[in-house]
Structure 1
């Protein structure tokens, strides 16, 4: 009887661990990720530009009350049409229940960007919705931050990429394996999906910038991923939505004072 009881407890603990892991991985495991033949190259009327010089994707680290910094996906910096500079990352990469103290972009403390204030209220973790525009956090970037030390992306004025357009993903964990290339499968104001040229491990990529090969400007933020027929498929939050949220922001709350509603 004792062995049966122990076995039951172990089984329940195992199920609880698996359930928690699945919950934390929802953005990568959700069904319904689109896939199919990529559209023909579109006619893009936007001006052609160059890809960014340097590596715009950065590792994100979160510091919670009483704890050491821990990895929190990826992020990037972009310029608003108003001239202001904000940092973007995925909401599902953070615990927003009230113990977050600060966030930094960059693995080295002496050459990283430190942030402690939200630029507008953060979004929420994406669960079962195909609307990718709710999963985001924007951070205020201090006026004293030296632009020369970081790659600051310019948003694509179209707001979202076009089906058939070639894009470049810059993973936040660095240029060790180079950028990832892909083609937009479908796109609208609530999200865009790209079929990448190859399959690769997408862990920690949430928050990475996706840039148009045509304009050289950022068109989205990576949020979700799946594997389809030997290709990684990436879902992104369109940059137009992030720009709107950045311009409409009215609350600039210190991270340590924010309480999730």
Structure 2
């Protein structure tokens, strides 16, 4: 049996080296993977996932879901038809600090997809500026996304009858370009730069992107280091906009607070 006091070494490809000291404590015992695909019919999906987008697993093709000839294989797919999704996604090694020059040259857009037919989605993405990602979330309920402070990229939000809200810190770094019939096109951060902008225009996709879509729910976006009460204040504003009674607002926010406390308990002691 392996010594539990010794952290597991990352399963990177041979040309990528990483010392244990560079790995955050929260994921030091989580082995990085790639091409994760979880689909559940009636159960929720909850977990912490560490992804190395450059690792190509040497396994038989039947171990991975088939993809069409014109599609790119996604690094993470979480699909729950009857439950919620709570995911904490780490993109290594950018989430752990500086990236070697040779690693930066081979950077690859990490593709993340979260879909829930009836329940809410809560996802945290931890990645450095050297590791761009594309996150797609689709649900009939609420969607909450936490981004790293270094996020710079496009943001497209669609909600049929809900409200799109941003934390104050995100709002300060956001530029809205269009809002038509519930669809918003925004930029979070500074300009993408000429090279990245050309790549995105040509469909090469080297810039980070957010695509959030919900039918009846609300969309909320905040940074990872913002305190939970920021999101609670955002919920108050949403319900005030919709003219919901104060009693309903209080009940919903108490439920959210209990959910967050439960999440902290599971994270620390489970």
TM range (shorter): under 0.3
Q: What TM-score results when the alignment is normalised by the length of structure 2?
A: 0.22
The structure showing larger relative contact order (alpha-carbon pairs under 8 Å, at least 6 residues apart) is: 1
